[in-house]
Amino acid sequence: MTTVYAGASTWPPEGPGPVVAIGNFDGVHDGHRAVLRQLFALAAEQGAPACVLTFDPAPTAVLAPERHQARILTLADRVRLLGAEGVDAVVVEPFTRAFAENSARWFAEDLLGRQLGVRGVVVGYDFRFGHQRQGNVAVLRAWLPAVPVVEVAAFTEAEAPVSSSRIRRLVASGAVEEAAALLGRPHLLRGVVVTGDQRGRTIGFPTANIVSDVELLPAHGVYAVRVRVDDAGPVHAGVVNVGMRPTFAGTELRIEVHLLDFAGDLYGHRLAVELVARIRGEQRFDGVAALVAQIGRDVQRARELLC
């Protein structure tokens, strides 16, 4: 079971120092797995726990919110997926403006060296750290001379690095199947079911409206999905519409999930929605009858893709 620590200062001083991989690990994608493979190898060599040091909230959200990119995963899912990969511990460092003022040397010698007592460090090829990103692998090795530091080259697919930014672009464009190939699983939306306008049930396709915990949403449109209720029980096939509902002159974004062959009350429950394939983009229809006919075709296409 993965142990989570609220900052490096909470690492138990009586325990063995870890080997740490440092980064945001947003997505826990194939590029991150290349880093984790090196983490596990070095941790085994050092006889030390394999630990990930990550940050929350995202540094850009604090320092440059105008440049902040939507997160692929919630923190809870990031920790869960790192644990599923085999990480022994995750240190979640609270990222604040005060923390960002710390020098690169402080990060290396105090946070890594004194607080964590690291026995090894693994980082990606573009790793920078400390105030204004002044630190790099070379100075990290100089300031921690007794600690092995492994720099992992870019992991590429289709001749391009697999990165969180690349995956964000794919999801945002609706290319969820391509994103899934890099993530190693479908992109996931999560949220609590809230009361909507209940129009779906009047046209034969009841929907559960969710408020997403996940920042990264796909391009507006209709998707074939797999859904789990409260992270328990069976997985349900379904369709989700993400968009503004132009047929009804909608003015706010809605995420509406229709579960195939399902009957039950979902209000207040949490849904985990895996985006398997895009069926179509968002459309405006000339009336409810045309919309209902298209939804029927969407459901049939989802059955073909999922069942």
202 and 99 housed in the same domain: no
Instruction: Assess if residue 274 is contained within a domain.
Output: yes
Instruction: Assess if residue 177 is contained within a domain.
Output: no
Instruction: Assess if residue 176 is contained within a domain.
Output: no
Instruction: Assess if residue 151 is contained within a domain.
Output: yes
18 and 97 housed in the same domain: yes
151 and 276 housed in the same domain: no
Confidence (pLDDT) at 269: 96
pTM, 2 dp: 0.93
134 and 19 housed in the same domain: yes
User: Which range of residues forms the domain containing residue 291?
Assistant: 186-306
33 and 129 housed in the same domain: yes
> Residue 7: CB partners within 8 Å, gap ≥ 6?
91, 92, 93, 94
pLDDT by residue, tens only, the chain of 307 residues = 899 999 999 999 888 999 999 999 999 999 999 999 999 999 999 999 999 999 999 999 999 999 999 999 999 999 999 999 999 999 999 999 999 999 999 999 999 999 999 999 999 999 999 999 999 999 999 999 999 999 999 999 988 999 999 999 999 999 999 999 999 999 999 999 998 766 666 667 899 999 999 999 999 999 999 999 999 989 999 999 999 876 666 678 999 999 999 988 899 999 999 999 999 999 888 888 888 899 999 999 999 999 8
14 and 157 housed in the same domain: yes
155 and 218 housed in the same domain: no
* CA nearest neighbour of 95 among 37, 41, 127, 55: 55
217 and 94 housed in the same domain: no
Instruction: Assess if residue 148 is contained within a domain.
Output: yes
Instruction: Assess if residue 166 is contained within a domain.
Output: no
> Residue 93: CB partners within 8 Å, gap ≥ 6?
7, 8, 53, 54, 55, 56, 99, 111
- CATH number of the domain that residue 11 is part of: 3.40.50.620
157 and 192 housed in the same domain: no
Give the C-alpha separation, 257 to 253, whole Å: 13
288 and 204 housed in the same domain: yes
Q: How many domains does the chain have?
A: 2
- CATH number of the domain that residue 241 is part of: 2.40.30.30
154 and 223 housed in the same domain: no
143 and 26 housed in the same domain: yes
Instruction: Assess if residue 174 is contained within a domain.
Output: no
Instruction: Assess if residue 178 is contained within a domain.
Output: no
Confidence (pLDDT) at 198: 63
